[in-house]
Structure 1
Amino acid sequence: MAGLRRLPPGVHRHAGRERPGHRGDRHGLLRGASVTAARAGSRSRKTKETDVAVTLKLDATGQARVSTGIPFMDHMLELMAVHGLIDLTVKASGDLPVDQHHTVEDLGLVLGRALDEALGDRGGIVRFASITLPMDECLVNVAVDLGGRPAFAYDLKPSERIVGSFDTTLMPHFLESLAQTGRLTLHVTQLRGGNPHHLLEATMKALGRVIDAAARRDPRRAGKVPSSKGRVGA
């Protein structure tokens, strides 16, 4: 997982967009109950192995209702929502007596699809964001490009494989799945290690923050696609 890996883009339906220059949106960030519905996504996936449903709203308040059957994953998704000001509802069940792999991977796939739907045509968004975030002794950088090109790079090195009951080797599978279906480039870089719980907590807090920052609307773009090509994606 250490190197950059390009993934094939998916095709998803797009959400509607509210008009630019909404009254009361002095900074163009479009935060508030009157506009969140237009920046929302709801997707699900059901297989013989898992049943996952995700609903999210951008420009929100960070309310999270998460139940995956994996307590540590619930905690991580709640952190992402709270620090990214994303309203998030997740309901998942899976073949956990076998292992956590299918559930964690499908959580990433469905979350990415819901995010892609919420972003719509991505017109007027900031597009890029990067944050370096500490959690006690740990320090992580997370960078994102919402330009429609799926790619993923990851070099976290948790000092222990199991945190609580969670297998930390599944975190890159979750994030890579999110990058693939969310049509985004995601880089996760460990700057300083330590407690593995702290390391993953810093990562998920930072992920929420960069999604929030990159998805914000820039009023100077007036809804234009943030690309010199005139379109997002490859």
Structure 2
Amino acid sequence: MPNVNVPGTATIHRVTGETNVELSLSLYGTGQADLDFSVPFLRHMLHLFAVHGRFDLTVRANGDVDVDDHHLVEDIGLALGRAFHQALGDKHGIRRYGERHTPMDETLARAVVDFSGRPAFVMLGDIPDKRIGTFPTELTREFFKSVANEARMALHLAILYGENSHHMVEGLFKAAGAAIAMAVEIVGDRVPSSKGVLE
């Protein structure tokens, strides 16, 4: 299936020996999420991500979850990052930078992004529980790293404080969605770089 791209949208089909991921993204949507894959906690988090980023997001995916969730979570992250990169095109007119602090009850999370064309990922803060339901919390880091690498953006995440692991991860997804929405907002009439290009 070929990748189809119109301004602000992307469709990605990623197939490996471990997973099959079909993902569609609209940057300037209404926050609608249609998610069908067998990692319940990530489905919940991506729904929140879409709502707070006002992205329209569809994901149909399956993989070797009988082994564990790692490959499917990572590959959905890779497909989502690639969709952001394709949907932004030459990044003409976007704000480029975005940031958001998001409280989630006792937790405060922060996300800062730059669609620079240079992938970088930093995540500060420890999630105390090893699992939330059946979801290994170490996959939070793997997911966002995959998104950042394929989107070719600098993504800096931090759990500033908190107690509840669910709240911590939820805060990160909400903050990331809102920060990315800010960064992709059309605010000008040029590529926002002194070099005149963002790859």
TM-score after normalising by structure 1: 0.82
Let me know the Cα RMSD of the aligned residues.
1.2
Alignment of 1:154-165 (within 5 A): 154-165=123-134
Whether 1:228 and 2:194 are equivalent positions in the alignment is: yes
Q: Which amino acid aligns with 2:161?
A: R
- Deviation by residue 1:106-164 (Cα, 9 ceiling, x = unmatched): 01100111111111110110000111110000001100001211000012311101001
Compute the displacement of 1:15 (Å): 4.2
Cα distance in 1 for residues equivalent to 2:37 and 2:154: 25
CA contact (8 A) 1:144 1:187 kept: yes
Number of residue pairs matched by the alignment: 197
1:168 counterpart residue number: 137
Q: Which amino acid aligns with 1:231?
A: V
Compute the displacement of 1:14 (Å): 9.2
Cα distance in 1 for residues equivalent to 2:75 and 2:30: 25
- Deviation by residue 1:49-91 (Cα, 9 ceiling, x = unmatched): 1011110101110000011200000000000001110000001
- Deviation by residue 1:149-201 (Cα, 9 ceiling, x = unmatched): 10000123111010011000011111011001111100001111210000000
Structure 1 stretches of 5 or more lacking a match? 1-12, 17-37
TM-score after normalising by structure 2: 0.96
Q: Which amino acid aligns with 2:172?
A: T
CA contact (8 A) 1:125 1:214 kept: yes
Alignment of 1:41-60 (within 5 A): 41-60=10-29
> Helix, strand or coil for the counterpart of 1:43?
strand
CA contact (8 A) 1:150 1:184 kept: yes
2:72 counterpart residue number: 103
> Helix, strand or coil for the counterpart of 1:60?
coil
Cα distance in 1 for residues equivalent to 2:20 and 2:175: 27
Question: 1:179 is matched with which residue: 142, 148, 171?
Answer: 148
Whether 1:89 and 2:58 are equivalent positions in the alignment is: yes
Greater than 3 Å deviation, 4+ residue runs: 13-16
Please identify the structure whose Cα radius of gyration is greater.
Answer: 1
Cα distance in 2 for residues equivalent to 1:45 and 1:14: 13
Q: Which amino acid aligns with 2:10?
A: G
User: Greater strand share, 1 or 2?
Assistant: 2
Cα distance in 2 for residues equivalent to 1:90 and 1:149: 26
Question: 2:32 is matched with which residue: 63, 68, 82?
Answer: 63
2:48 counterpart residue number: 79
Cα distance in 1 for residues equivalent to 2:186 and 2:118: 19
CA contact (8 A) 2:5 2:11 kept: no
1:7 counterpart residue number: none
CA contact (8 A) 1:14 1:121 kept: no
Structure 2 stretches of 5 or more lacking a match? none
Cα distance in 2 for residues equivalent to 1:153 and 1:144: 11
1:206 counterpart residue number: 175
